[in-house]
Amino acid sequence: MKKLLLGNEALAQGAIDAGISGVYGYPGTPSTEIVEYIQRSKTAIEQGIHSKWSANEKTAMEAALGMSYAGKRVMTVMKHVGLNVAADVFMNMSVSGINGGFVVVVADDPSMHSSQNEQDSRYYGKFAMVPMLEPSNQQETYEITKYAFDLSEKLRLPVLLRMVTRLSHSRAGILTGGSNKQNSLHLPENPTQFQLIPMHARSRYKHLVELQSDLLEISEKSGFNELIKGSDTSIGIIASGIAFNYLMENFEDTECPYPILKISQYPLPKKAIKHLFDTCDKILVLEDGYPFIEEMISDFLGENRKVIGRLSGDVPRVGELNPDNIAKALGFDVVINESLPKVVSGRPPELCVGCSHKDLFDVINELKKESQSQQVFGDIGCSALGVLSPFKTVNTLIEMGASITMAKGAADAGIHPAIAIIGDSTFTHSGMTGLLDCIIEKTPITVIISDNSAIAMTGAQDSSASGRLVDICRGLGVEEEHLKLLNPLNKNFQENIDFVRQEINYQGVSVIISERPCVQLPKAKKDKLNEMKKASIN
Amino acid sequence: MKTNIILAGVGGQGILTIAAVLDTAALASDLNLKQSEVHGMSQRGGAVQSHVRISDTEIHSDLIPQGKADIIISVEPMEALRYLPFLKKDGYLVTDSNPFENIPDYPNLEEIYKEIKLLPNNILIDAKKIAKDLGNSKATNIVLLGAASSLLPLDEESLVQAIKTLFQRKGDRVVNKNIEAFNKGKEIAMGILS
C-alpha cells in the first residue's frame, strides 16, 4: 500500500530507512516538515534517533558532523538561507570529509514564498566540491535519500540534497521498503582526517580535488541522470530536478520529440551534455532557481547562442518554474494570463488575532509620535509582519539576528532612538553575540525581545530560549536595572509606553523582554511553559 | 482520465481538510495523486491554495497549468475568483458565499457574487449556514466538498469512507456530523445543477 507523503516526508522516511542515528536542524520554510516527521515517527522513536531542534543551522551541522565522526549516519536539515549560517562548517567538512554517511538537506525557495531571497544551494555544493542530488518527484526523493547515504560513505564526503518548495510541500502516494540498521560506533581510520591544521588541511584538500574525477564518473553512470532519446534535434533539453516534471507535463498526450537530459545528480554528467551539444542545434536549460547549469555550459562572451534558458530570456530570469512558463519556452501557443477580475483584492499574511507582537507594535508606534528620529530594526519570524500595514513599525528586515547588530551600527552612526525587535528563538539563534558587542561598548540601544515562547512562524516549534532569556541576558552582562519584563496586553498600553520610553532614554544597552506566549500554541505546550516558569521562580 | 482541482481559502479556514479527504479517497481508489499546499508565512491569514490532481495515468507536475482546472472549490467567495486563470472555460466553481473580511479594502460583496455568476458553471451556496443548521459550523468545508462531489472522479462511498477515516479520532458524533454535512452539500448542489 502506498503511503501519502509530502516530498519532505518522503525524504524523512528515506533517511530513517537508510539507518540514520540522528537528524539535526533548525526550522525554516520549506524544510521544517522533514525534522518534524522524524520527531513523530514511531520507528524513529523506537530506534532512539536523535531529532531535537538545534539553536541554529551551524550548531546543527556541527553536531551532525560529530555524530558522523563517531561513525553513525546522520542528516542535517535547513532552508536555503540557513546554509549561509552553517557555511563555515559546510565548507570545511568537505575538506575533512566524513566518517558515517552524512547528508546535508537544503530546501530552496524559488519565488520567495516564505523567504527574503531565492539563492540556489547548488552554488554551495559546487563551492564545497561535494556531490549533489536534486530529486524530481516524491518517489525519487525517497529513493535518492537512501542512495545519498551510500554515496556519502563510498566517497567519504558529505552529500548535498537539494529540495525546492513545490516538491517539499506536495503530497503523493509513495512506495517505501527496505531499511538499514544503524551503524555501530567506529572512529575514523585516519587519525589526522578531522584535524584541519594547515599541514593536514593541505593534504585533505588535495585529496578532495583528486576525488573530483570519481565524483564525475559516478555521476556519469548514475541512474538518476537519464538521457532520453528524441528524433527532433532542433532543440536538446536539459531539465534538472522538478523542472523535469513541468517539462513532461507539456507532453502528457504526445511523446516529446526532443532529446532530453534529466539531471538529478551532480557534478554535471559531461558525456551526456557533450552528446546533446554534438547532436542538437540548440540546448534549452530548464532549472528551478538560478541559471546554474546554463551558466556552466554557456560560453562566457555569449557569442555562441547555442544555450538558452533563464540567462537568454527564454525562461523568466526570476521566480519559480511552472508548466506554463516552460510551455512558452518550448514555443507553444500559450497565453500566460495573470489578470484577475478587478474586484479581487490582495490578501497578504497578517498576525493572528490576539498576537502579542501586535500589542508591542502599538506601543512602539505611539513612541514614534514623540520622536520622529526613532528607527526600528526588525528580525526574521512572525514579528517581521510588523513591516506591513496596519503597523508599519519595523524599518528593516535582512536576516536572522541583524536587528540588534544593525541597531548597533545605526546607533554608532548617531541614530537615536535605535530599537531592535527580535523574537525569542531568533535571539538564541543569532542575536546573543551581537548583544555582547553592544554590552562591551555600552551602545545606546533598546533591544526588545518579543518572547512568544515558540518558533511561531514555522508552526510553533520549541524555542531554545524558553525560560532562559533573563539568565542569558544577565550572563552576557546586561545591567540588572536595564533588564526589564513587559506584559504586552492592550490593558497595559499606557503603562508600557512609559516603561519603554524610560529605557529608550537610557544611554546604554537596555533589554526589554516582552513576554506572552503565541496564541497558536497547543494547550499542552502552554501548560509546560507555566511549569517551567514556576520552576525558574522557585 | 485526469481531474484538476484547486482548493482556495484563507489560511486557517480548513482547505487542507478537504485536500486530506480527496487524497485519502484517491489513494484508496488506487488512483494517482499529487497535492501541493502552502506552508509558512502565507498561512498566517493570507490567501492560500492547494492544487489537487487525481488521475488513472501518471501525473507529472505538482502544479496545475493555467486553464486546466476542472473545479475550484473555495471556502471564501473572493478567494474563489483569485484562481480564475486556472479554470477551464467550462470548469466548475463551487464556493461558500460568506466573506472572510480581514483586509481593509474588502470589496463589495454583491460585486463578487456578480463575477461568480458570470461563470457558466457556478455553485454559490451558504455552506456556513448549512453547517451551522446541522449543528457543526466547523463542517463548512465538508458541505462544500459534498456540493462538489458529483463533479469528482471519486465515488461517494470512497469519499464518505475517507471522512470516517480522517475524523474517527474525534469520535462518532463528529464523524456523523461531517457525513451529514457532506450529504446536505451534495443534495443542495444537485438542486442547482439539475
Instruction: Tell me the residue ranges of DSSP E strands in A393-470.
Output: 418-423, 446-451
pLDDT in tens, A141-198: 999 999 999 999 999 999 999 999 999 999 999 999 999 999 999 999 999 999 999 9
- pLDDT of residue A538 exceeding 70, the answer is no
What is residue A537's predicted lDDT score, i.e. its pLDDT? 57
Is residue B128 within 8 Å of residue B135, measured between CB atoms? no
Q: Which of B37, B59, B102 is facing A350, going by the closest CB pair?
A: B102
Q: What phi and psi, each to the nearest 5 degrees, are found at residue B155?
A: -80, 160
- pLDDT of residue A10 exceeding 70, the answer is yes
- Rounded to two decimals, the pTM is 0.96
Is B61 in Cβ contact with A245 (below 8 Å)? Answer: yes
A192 DSSP assignment:
T
- pLDDT of residue A305 exceeding 80, the answer is no
ipTM metric = 0.96
Range with the lowest mean pLDDT among A124-138, A339-353, B64-78? A339-353
What is residue B143's predicted lDDT score, i.e. its pLDDT? 97
What is residue A9's predicted lDDT score, i.e. its pLDDT? 98
CA of A521 vs chain B CAs: smallest distance (Å): 14
Given CB atoms, is B97 within the 8 Å cutoff of chain A? Answer: no
pLDDT category at A123 given cuts 50, 70, 90 is very high
Given CB atoms, is B63 within the 8 Å cutoff of chain A? Answer: yes
CA distance A480 to A502: 15
Single out the residue of A358, A371, A377 nearest to residue A426, CA to CA. Answer: A377
Convert A453-488 into a string of H (helix), E (strand) and C (coil). Answer: CCECCCCCECCCCCCCHHHHHHHHCCCHHHEEEECC
Residues of A in contact with B33 (CB under 8 A): 4, 171-173
CA of B132 vs chain A CAs: smallest distance (Å): 23
pLDDT category at A271 given cuts 50, 70, 90 is very high
Is residue A377 within 8 Å of residue A396, measured between CB atoms? yes
CA distance B139 to B131: 6
The two beta strands, A235-240 and A170-174, are unpaired
If one compares A430 and A252, the residue with the highest pLDDT of the two is A430
Rounded mean pLDDT of chain A? 96
- pLDDT of residue A36 exceeding 70, the answer is yes
Residue type, A166: R
CA distance B193 to B191: 6
pLDDT in tens, A438-482: 999 999 999 999 999 999 999 899 999 999 999 999 999 999 999
Residues of chain B with pLDDT under 50: none
What is residue A523's predicted lDDT score, i.e. its pLDDT? 84
pLDDT category at A51 given cuts 50, 70, 90 is very high
What is residue B191's predicted lDDT score, i.e. its pLDDT? 92
Q: CB-hemisphere CA count at 13 Å for A341?
A: 21
Q: Which of B37, B60, B84 is facing A245, going by the closest CB pair?
A: B60
The whole-number average pLDDT for the span A41-45 is: 98
What is residue A84's predicted lDDT score, i.e. its pLDDT? 98
Collapse the DSSP code of B92 into the 3-class scheme (helix H, G, I; strand E, B; otherwise coil) and give the result: strand
What is residue A197's predicted lDDT score, i.e. its pLDDT? 98
CA distance A40 to A141: 19
Residues of B in contact with A345 (CB under 8 A): 78, 103, 105-107
Per cent of chain A over pLDDT 90 is 92
What is residue A335's predicted lDDT score, i.e. its pLDDT? 80
Per cent of chain A over pLDDT 70 is 99
